[in-house]
Copies of this chain bind each other. A is one copy, B any other.
């Protein structure tokens, strides 16, 4: 139910094509909501029907024109309504933890954990760079910036937790030859 709302948040920052949105979902917004371009196009069509977004067509001779979407007042009203709903608990689905819990091949888990640890470190470094670049003085933010900064802080915290957990796993996992039953 929330891809719509993530798109509205993004369009409120700047109008965009479906393609632009897909790129944003690969980068900034993707840090807390993931979506593919196929899903985005489907949802945009639905949102247009609902009147939450307007479309500006750019005809360019060729067959298919570019479509630039922007948020309408009705879209903003919907976003505001939704922000007032208490948020649902996120469903936890971690296949990594299922694998860990299986206790079936600690060498495979170890390798997997090392990959994840490297990922987390890379992501943490990217967030730290973003924070320095966009929020060098967090004591002095506009109302608009605070939400984005706190979202970024959540990402930083999440990666740090992920790193600490991976390190704990690596420190405690015994070595094995395949099955450990």
Contact = CB atoms under 8 A, between A and B. Distances in A.
A98 B165 contact: no
A134 interface: no
A109 interface: yes
B150 A157 contact: no
A157 B164 contact: yes
A147 interface: yes
Contact of A94 (B32, B79, B144): B32
B172 A9 contact: no
Contacts of A161: 157-158, 160-161
A97 interface: yes
Contacts of A93: 2, 32-34, 90
Given A87-B95, A161-B157, A179-B80, A102 B150 contact: no
A100 interface: yes
A27 interface: no
A60 interface: no
Interface stretch (A14-22, A45-53, A112-120): A112-120
A88 interface: yes
Interface string A1-23: 11001101100100000000000
Contacts of A82: 99
A37 interface: no
Contacts of A169: 150, 153
A125 interface: no
Nearest to A3: B93
21 contacts: A6-B98, A8-B102, A9-B98, A30-B92, A31-B92, A32-B97, A34-B91, A34-B93, A80-B105, A80-B179, A84-B105, A87-B96, A87-B112, A90-B93, A90-B94, A97-B154, A103-B144, A103-B148, A106-B143, A150-B172, A150-B173
